[in-house]
Structure 1
Amino acid sequence: MTNISKSILLTSIVLILFLCMSGTAAAEVSIENPNEFRTVLEDMYAGNNLSEIYRLNCNINMNDIAFNGFTFKPIGTDNKKFTGKFDGNGFTISNLVIESNSNNTGFFGVTDGATLTNIELKDVTLNFETDGECENIGILAGSVTEGTIEGCHVDGKITIVDKQNADDTISNIGGLAGYISKDATVKDSSSDVEIKITIDDPDDMKINNIEKIGGLVGFMNSSIENCSAIGDIVIDVTQSNTTSCIKLIGGLIGNNEDGILINGGFAAGDIVININENAKIKQLTRVGGLAGYLDTMNTVIIENSSAIGDISITVNNNAEIQSDISNIGGLIAYSRAEITNSYSTGNILIDGKNAKIKQASGIGGFIGSASGGKTDNCFAAGNILIKVYGDTDKIYDIGGFNGYHYSEMNKCYTTGEIEITGSKNINSVGGLVGRNFKSIVDSYALNEKITVTATPDPTDVGKAIGSGTGTITSVYSWEGMEGNFYKGTKTIDGDPIAASDVWNETYWIGSSTDWTLNTYNNFKLPIPAWQTKKIVVADAIHLKIDDNSNSGNGIDGTTDVDPTDNTPNTPNTPNTPNTPNTSNTTNPVVNNTTVDDSGKTTSVGTGSATSYESDAFLYSKLLIAIVLIGLLLFIIIFFLYKRRKDEEEENQ
């Protein structure tokens, strides 16, 4: 064999061995016990291995002895982002405590292109006390750029307290994540997190804004599928000199500005805002049961989604809203979205006792203000109650379904009661829409009662539409609706519809793919086709929500529930995370961790994380190895053959 041939053979062998060995570089890091988890965290805190693949293979209780003297810090920072993969594998990390006064706070601080899957964070306490900005706060992640969140579930409490006199902003706060950029994917995930924000300073501090707060995500420019949030959002402002705005608050998402798809979104938490003790707020705006603000030049689509939590705003003890309370909606506060097959049942309560509220407008049981987009096959069943006893200039654009309407509505209805008391000037109030400037087709005002009390008398109060110059086609109002109505030149009551006709399916235009009828009895008021639990029924007096999901009872009244019922009804329930195999029920050992009947884990391993390879990864490596071995054998045979030919030629 020539020297050149030998060199080629040696180089080929070395190259193939290198390729075989390099296949292990992407192996997963398996976390088998709390000691290993602590080691992994400390390694990432040092800025190492932030692009690795991690898999959790045991339950982690942060009260475990392994964490004595340990202070948890978010994984990933602005300078050293987490870019790898973390698979919770259906196991639980519990009793995590996060204490912070820095932006980008959560289990992960900052991620970029990361994949976060099947992570369960339970009983998490996140405390944030600030004397400056507070941004990007969430139990799972503070800030997410691109990447994937799938099958992740968190529960706990976020408490944010600002007691320092600082000109700062509190923004991008979410139960799951604070900030999510475009080109990220969020699906099959949920948040059961109470978010409480308190502004209390005896020195009359100034706060720029409290904004972009969501039960699931505070600010989000990506799409979500099959996600839910059921925790309350509570904002208390006391003794504040001036808070510029409280805005962009949503039961699921606070704010979106770049196009979004929400499919199967569900929000059940209440939103409670208290303005107390001489506090001054410039504006309180864009608060929605599902989302606060969906305003974008790109397409926003909401499908098969719902919100059942109440929105409660209390302004008292000489507190002041200097501009207005505006754009408050049972599902969406301010919308340019295309919304189909969705509903809201939460109440909207605004109470201004001894307060100064400049004005209130754009308040609706489904949408506060719509300025573009369209709404098809949706209903609202929540009540609207506004009581303002102090100094208020006016209240206007209040509707059982939509307050201010500059969009298209088709095949929608509302059933809630409207009661407004105490303002000097009330106008444009309607059972379906307060003020209409666009198109309404095949829609129904089925409110039990509309009561408006003011001095002097209100104007433009109608059963269907308060005022506006928009077009209507086949708009009805229930003939049994009670209340006091004040017709103006553009007030529309709609065609009267009798109770018996309400339940006649011939009055409802649409296909079976849009609506489903109540097959338990003869009353046929439809609901979105995907929704099977809450069924709207009525007797000759009023309309209710009837839960027929289990009993099969119908109009006999045995299961009637008031429309304010907040029993969670989650469409498209998020997928249950993978359950670890614990077939050995007597303290089984799962990946070197003993699990007792309560789920508590006991470490039996060391503090060094293990290299773990999934079945798919092993199969791919095996295939590569077979190919490379075959190539190596081919090269060896080839050179043996070449050597033999060379020897034969030399002998000749």
Structure 2
Amino acid sequence: MDGTIEAWGWNEHGQCNIPLPNSGFIAVEAGNCHSLGIKSNGSIVAWGLNSWQQCNVPTPNTGFVAVAGGGYHSVGLKQDGTIIVWGGNETHRTVPLPNSGFVAVAAGDSFSLALRSDGSIAAWGYNNYGEFDVPSPNANFKAIAAGYNFCMGLKQDGSVVAWGYNFSGQCTVPSPNQGFIAIAAGLSQGLGIVSYSQNLLVGSGTENDPYLITSLADFNKFSTDESYWAENVHTKLVCDINLVGRTYTEAVIAPDADNSNETIFDGTAFNGIFDGNGHKILNLIIDNDGAKNGFLGLFGRINSEAKVKNLVLEKMYILSSSTAGTCYIGGLCGENSGLLSNCVVNGTVTGNYSAYVGGLAGQNSYGNIQFCNSNTNVTAGDGCVFIGGLVGVNVEGDIINCSAVNNVTTGDVTSYIGGLAGTNLVFTENAGNAFSNINNCYATGNVTGGSDSEDIGGLVGLNYGQGAGIANSYATGVVKGQTSSYCLGGLCGYNRNADIIKCYSSGNVQTGNYLGALCGYHIDSSAIIENSFWNTETSGLSVGYNLSSSSPGTISNVYGKTTEQMKTISTFLGVGWDFIDETANGSDDIWRMCTDGQDYPRFFWDFTAGDFTCPDGVNFKDFAALASVWLSESGDSNWRQRYDISEPNDSKIDMSDLMVFCENWLLIPNDLIAYWKMDEGSGATVSDSSNNNHNGTIYGATWTEGISGNALSFDGGNDYISIPYNPDFAYTIGQDRLTISAWIYPRDKDDTSPGAIYSDRAAGNGVLAVVMKITSGKFIVGGWSPSALGYNIESPVTANNQWYFMTIVFDSGFARLYIDGDLKSSISLAGVSLTNGGTGMMLGKHQGGWSNFFNGKIDEVCIYKKALSQSEIINLMNH
């Protein structure tokens, strides 16, 4: 190959007259009326119209690797990543700053583009049509092209972004916008090469040979090709998918096709089987941008034959900002009529003038949701109805073994608001022939309604209709209204013609009319509340429920109890609650409560897999229990469902279950980065038992008896432990997962000088990324900075001179405070981004030189680079 150039076409300015010698060229480019070529020695040759000196290559003419021709200017890219521009320059912007790190260039009529090595695009020159306005996020680009007055960028995921003048549709990329491998821009047209073979999913779509999603490109293909959504078509996710940088305006999969009627789905629903395989989809953002688009979520609508299982949505953000009204908004789906199993959603769902808004699903219509968890803050504006932490409405469906652990907040004139479900409903015409069940579920977040709000419950806002039931469930969050609010209950706001059986609530209920610690209002002859309890001390109310005077329904064995009584198993055994390690009340083993005085009843499934029996933790007693059902199958006399702990459940107890059991044997959670047992008993060093060598130096603190072995005593004056910084400790509060736990023994809980147990300074001019402390009778964890949003989470300290197990869990966008294994408070970290500053950590003292020292004992301090579950925290506490 000799590297000669052939040129043809219009030649009025000599743009087709290649200079001699015509050889050794390795690249060519064309401007409006001039031509350019790069030789193998890195020099540029230019010819044609030169009225603006666009052909006068600056010296030294060496080291060029790319060139672009504009209307009256030229752009050259050097091997060192710098840019040289010559020719017309009416805007007096020759190069972008800093002029370094560039990998590609392009030129339009009177503007230029350059691609940086970090995937961002720089633009300069004329900006008459928004040529500079690179759509956000300006990241992840791998190629660029410039037309006369518009621009194109090719993303790493194979999608194309176009901006600028769009009179001829040159900025409207055709659907599906995926699979592009090359782009070009003309006067008023865009071109792209698509490689469909890159997006064909591996597999045949059967149960034994499912389609496999192995990359973002695969996911994009799946999300836009309806053939993958058909009935009995199986698809499996085999990698995490990060959607950062992309904002959708409708559901990603199975969106509504016509938003003219917000309550009717007009698109192609999802009918297949999607197995997330335990993987995550991260950074899903949906914003309908004020439009009426409904059925928002990862899936728009999931039909009755469909299944979605084993999937985690993390850092998702769903927003309907329409003022015209939007229906069916959820993290995982807008509406579900199929099976959702073992799914977790983590993020924020917000509706404005909306109906059917839930953390997981907007509405569950005759569907089944099981073993799903919502760590989602749900917010609804004025006028919204049917809002829940997990689902907005459960219509004649089943929600079993599910939870919601974050807050639900609404504006004014809102109705049917619940920590788990806004409404649990059986239609009147189906009474006696249909059921809507919420069983074995809990909610721990706070539920807050605005002015003129009604039917607000810690678990369910409205429980309505014969056949609608809430059983074996509980709520612990604060329920709060305004003075004009009606029907607020710790568990249920309004119970009409429906059942509440074997439930409890412990959250505070405040502000409004018809306040009930358990149920705000109970009405109709067939309405039943039985064998249920509320905490008289924490609820702030002596009244558990308000009855209709004309039709009060049935109340049986419903009592208010003290905290001590609520933590005593006999309280619940006496009215038929089914616990593990007892058979008098049944063998379903729904509830677990190993030691009186430690915790409220919790579900067996909320403990570590393999922790079948008391005491807490996976140990020899659990091994014996597993042996008692070994090789049993569903239907056998010794079969117990809760021993089937392998994923997926296969209805038999065998080696797959034993493997899970062994993984959790004598469990200390993985991802331990530091563990100061403080068992040395002498010397000036605390050793790190995690084998990561993060040892600390003791200043003043003295050895004493601990919760287990030895501990260190701090006098509140000048005692502390200093631990040097190590990259293992790098984290950002608000983004990363982190758990810090410690056994603490306060001597002066009411001291107003904050005695720090653990502190870590924030980066830059920050103050603190994390401080764990006791002050003014409260456990407090917080972080703040003069230049960044801070956070604060707290819980009361009950007494001095006793041991507490204090744990703070940072789970991406949320923080949860546990005391002795009980979840005491949960807050959103929305907007918080505090990175620790590399100065090391302190135990017993504030970072930054403050004279705030802890007065008491500290023992068994652990740091994990993961968000421990409540079960893992209890296991750690009892280890």
TM range (shorter): 0.5 to 0.7
**What's 1:301 paired with?**
437
Distance 1:118 1:501 in 2: 38
Identity %: 15
Question: Which of the residues 405, 415, 436 maps onto 2:535?
Answer: 415
Closer, same or farther: CA 84–410 of 1 in aligned 2, 3 Å = closer
- Of 223, 227, 238, the match for 2:368: 223
Matching residue's letter, 1:375: I
Deviation at 1:347, TM superposition (A): 1.1
Counterparts in 2 of 1:81 and 1:373: CA distance versus 1, 3 Å:
same
Provide the C-alpha distance between the structure 1 equivalents of 2:491 and 2:394, rounded to a whole number of angstroms: 18
CA distance in 2, matches of 1:262, 1:34: 37
Question: Aligned match of 1:333 in 439, 452, 461?
Answer: 461
User: Aligned with 2:510: secondary structure?
Assistant: strand
Q: Give 1:101 deviation, angstroms.
A: 3.6
Query: Which deviates more from structure 2 when the two are superposed, residues 434-443 or residues 222-231?
Result: 434-443
Residues 398 and 76 of structure 1: CA distance in aligned 2, closer, same or farther (over 3 Å): farther
After superposition, the Cα gap between the structure-2 partners of 1:118 and 1:501, relative to the gap in structure 1 and judged at 3 Å, is closer
2:269 counterpart residue number: 111
Q: CA deviation at 1:361?
A: 1.3
Is 1:57–1:91's contact at 8 Å kept on the other side of the alignment? no
**1:292 equivalent among 422, 445, 449:** 422
- The aligned residue for residue 753 of structure 2 is none
Query: More relative contact order in 1 or in 2 (CA 8 Å, sep 6+)?
Result: 1
1:442 aligned onto 2:578 = no
Preserved CA contact (<8 Å) 1:134 1:169: no
In structure 1, the partner of 2:473 is 342
Which residue in the other structure is 1:143 paired with?
301
Offset at residue 50 of structure 1 (A): 14
> 1:160 pairs with 319, 327, 338, which one?
319
- What's the offset of the Cα at 1:153? 2.2
Alpha-carbon distance, 1:150 to partner: 2.0
The equivalent of 1:92 in structure 2 is 240
1:381 aligns with 2:506: yes
Q: Is the 8 A contact 2:222 2:228 kept in 1?
A: no
> What pairs with 1:71-86 in structure 2 (closer than 5 Å)?
74-75=223-224, 83=231, 85-86=233-234
- Would you say the 8 A contact 2:357–2:387 is kept in 1? yes
Q: 1:361 matched to which residue of 2? A: 486
Report the counterpart of residue 284 of structure 2 in structure 1: 125
Q: Which AA in structure 2 matches 1:340?
A: A
Aligned partners of 1:505 and 1:525 also within 8 Å: no
**1: CA distance, partners of 2:603 / 2:229:** 43
2:284 counterpart SS class: strand
Which of 509, 520, 523 does residue 595 from structure 2 map onto? 520
**Aligned residues of 2:302 and 2:335 also touching (Cα < 8 A):** yes
1:415–1:506 distance in 2 versus 1, CA, 3 Å: closer
Pairs within 5 Å for 1:148-547: 148-160=307-319, 162=321, 168-181=324-337, 184-197=338-351, 209-221=353-365, 222-235=367-380, 237=381, 245-257=383-395, 259-273=396-410, 275=411, 281=412, 283-297=413-427, 298-313=434-449, 315=450, 321=451, 324-336=452-464, 337-350=468-481, 352=482, 359-386=484-511, 395-406=512-523, 407-415=527-535, 431-435=543-547, 437-446=552-561, 508-510=574-576, 511-513=584-586, 518-521=593-596, 527=601, 530=604
SS at match of 2:480: strand
Larger Rg: 2
1:607-634 per-position Cα deviation (integer Å, ceiling 9, x unaligned): xxxxxxxxxxxxxxxxxxxxxxxxxxxx
SS of match in other structure, 1:232: strand
Change (3 A) 1:550 1:432: farther
Cα separation, partners in 2 of 1:419 and 1:76, compared to 1, 3 Å:
same
8 Å Cα contact 1:330/1:367 also seen in 2: yes
Shift of 1:550: 5.7
Q: Is the 1:229–1:269 contact (alpha carbons within 8 Å) kept by the matching residues of 2?
A: yes
Distance 2:280 2:603 in 1: 33
Structure 2 distance, partners of 1:289, 1:500, is: 21
**Equivalence map 1:29-40=2 (5 Å):** 39=179
Residue 60 of structure 1 is matched in structure 2 by 215
1:463-510 Cα offsets, whole Å, 9 max, x none, are xxxxxxxxxxxxxxx9xxxxxxxxxxxxxxxxxxxx799775598232
Aligned residue-pair number = 404
Deviations 1:255-295 (A, max 9, x none): 133x111110111121123x4xxxxx5x2111101101112
Give ranges in structure 1 of 5+ residues lacking alignment: 1-32, 200-208, 238-242, 276-280, 316-320, 387-394, 421-428, 449-477, 479-498, 535-546, 569-597, 599-652
What SS class does the counterpart of residue 595 from structure 2 fall into? coil
Aligned partner letter, 1:289: G
CA distance 1:50–1:291, change in 2 (3 Å): farther
Cα displacement (A) at 1:90: 3.9
The answer to whether the 8 A contact 1:248-1:254 is kept is: yes
Q: Distance in 1 between matches of 2:489 and 2:302?
A: 32
CA–CA distance in 2 between the matches of 1:269 and 1:61? Answer: 29
Bigger strand fraction: 1
Q: Per the alignment, do residues 220 and 49 of structure 1 end up closer, same or farther by CA in structure 2, a change over 3 Å counting?
A: farther
**For 2:477, what is the secondary structure of its paired residue?**
coil
- TM-superposed deviation, 1:86: 4.5
- In 2, the alpha carbon distance for the partners of 1:341 and 1:180 equals 23
TM-score when normalising by structure 2? 0.40
Q: Which amino acid aligns with 1:343?
A: Y
Cα distance between partner residues in 2 of 1:256 and 1:368:
15
Asked if 1 retains the 8 angstrom alpha-carbon contact of 2:286 and 2:296, the reply is no
Cα 1:185–1:300 shift into 2, 3 Å:
same
1:128-165 deviation per Cα after TM superposition (whole angstroms, max 9, x unaligned): 143431310112x11222222122222232242537xx
Question: Are the structure 2 counterparts of residues 229 and 45 from structure 1 closer, same or farther at C-alpha, using a change threshold of 3 Å?
Answer: farther
Q: 2:179, 2:389 → 1: CA distance? A: 37
Q: In 2 relative to 1, CA 563–409 (structure 1 residues): closer, same or farther, beyond 3 Å?
A: farther
Q: Which amino acid aligns with 1:383?
A: N
**1:49 Cα deviation from its structure 2 partner:** 13
SS at match of 2:348: strand
Q: Decide whether aligned partners of structure 1 residues 533 and 379 sit closer, same or farther in structure 2, where only a CA change above 3 A counts.
A: farther
- Contact kept, 8 Å, 1:380 with 1:414, in 2: the verdict is yes
- Tell me the SS of whatever aligns to 1:410: strand
Q: Higher helix proportion, which one?
A: 1
- SS class of match (1:302): strand
- Name the amino acid aligned to 1:176: L
1:84 and 1:500 map into 2 onto residues whose CA distance is: 47
SS at match of 2:513: strand
* Cα pair distance change 1:124/1:56, threshold 3 Å: farther
1:171 CA displacement: 1.7
Contact kept in structure 1, 2:506 and 2:538, CA below 8 Å: no
Which segments of 5 or more consecutive residues in structure 2 lack a partner in the other structure?
A: 1-155, 160-176, 181-193, 256-267, 428-433, 577-583, 609-613, 620-706, 708-797, 806-818, 828-864, 866-879
Q: Do the aligned residues in 2 keep the contact of 1:385 with 1:418 (CA within 8 Å)?
A: no
DSSP 3-state at the match of 1:111: coil
